[in-house]
Amino acid sequence: AQSVAQPEDQVNVAEGNPLTVKCTYSVSGNPYLFWYVQYPNRGLQFLLKYITGDNLVKGSYGFEAEFNKSQTSFHLKKPSALVSDSALYFCAVRDLGSYIPTFGRGTSLIVHP
């Protein structure tokens, strides 16, 4: 079985400060991990994914995520937050052999000017 947890419903950060949105996962095999962003009244948009290889994955809009196998985590990060980054962020996991991704509950990121 596969599962994903986003422990924070909301993250608040000041513009220009670094941001982290947390995600932990559970799978039986090797995970495929994804981050998506949802702006108000829009569909989810793909940000980045980890399949294999380098643990630090770079994605769209300056976001990156670090895969940590020992901590079963895949936290989303950005060195300097923008007000326009304010949105709902979803972490998702797919186990090897599964075509259905499991999504987290989402974390609302609010970047204050």
Which chain residues interact with another protein by CB under 8 A? 32, 34, 36, 41-46, 49, 51, 90, 92, 94-101, 103, 105-106
CB of 18 to another protein, least distance (A): 25
* Residue (19 or 91) nearer to another protein, CB: 91
Q: How far does CA 22 lie from the centroid of its chain?
A: 7
Beta bridge partners of 103: 92
CB of 57 to another protein, least distance (A): 12
CB of 23 to another protein, least distance (A): 14
CB of 52 to another protein, least distance (A): 9
Q: Which amino acid is at 77?
A: K
* Residue (83 or 96) nearer to another protein, CB: 96
Beta pairing class for 56-58 and 64-68: antiparallel
* Residue (27 or 81) nearer to another protein, CB: 27
Q: Which amino acid is at 84?
A: S
